[in-house]
Amino acid sequence: MADVIWGSIGALASALKEKKFSAVELTKTFIKRIEIYDRQTNAILNINPKAFETAKKLDEDLAKGNIRGPLHGIPVMVKDNINTSDQMPTTAGSIALQENFAKKDAFLVEKLRLSGAIILAKTNLSEWANFRSVRSISGWSSAGGQSRNPYALDRTPGGSSSGSGVAASSGYCPAAIGTETSGSIVNPAAMNGVVGIKPTVGL
């Protein structure tokens, strides 16, 4: 399954179209990997309880020739300061917001779903995206504890999108969304050995 775990979005999308595996099987593969390895890395705050339901619907659409977009059937994770209108809270890493369930998706989550992505999980982060304190610890939150660098568990995972960087680096998903004000994507990307893209503001 290495080709699945470390496959690019393009390669996975092509394999799904060719029916080499289903979106449900792909989702199962990533969740199994999370269950095995995230006890050490602590990158994931919540797995989406609707992930399999979404994957099954996308498989049904694909069987009918209805491809929603370039991410059809691809599991993606989002940092837990981004609203999702499902059964996962949006906590910003704080226990103060553990019961905060958004009524609607953030704009980028809407776009992900329209492209056919499966929102697989919400990722840990530096609490309040590092606006907690001038001495805050990268990758630590009261909701999720300390995220850990998969290459060396005693080294920093970077922040504030620590969980997203760790998740991508650990093979928990093909792509993960972060947010950045000053280094919160590019720093964990560098620390975890993955590519991070900070888009131009407004785009």
Mean per-residue pLDDT over the chain, rounded: 96
Catalytically annotated residues: 79, 160, 184
Place of tokens 């890395």: 41
Check residue 2 and give its pLDDT. Answer: 66
pLDDT in tens, 82-116: 999 999 999 999 999 999 999 999 999 999 999 99
Q: Which two tokens stand for residue 129?
A: 């995206």
For the whole model, what pTM was predicted?
0.96
Residue 41 has pLDDT above 70, yes or no: yes
User: Residue 77's closest CA among 38, 103, 40, 39?
Assistant: 38
Rounded to whole angstroms, the Cα distance separating 13 from 7 reads: 10
Residue 164, token pair as written in the block = 């997203």
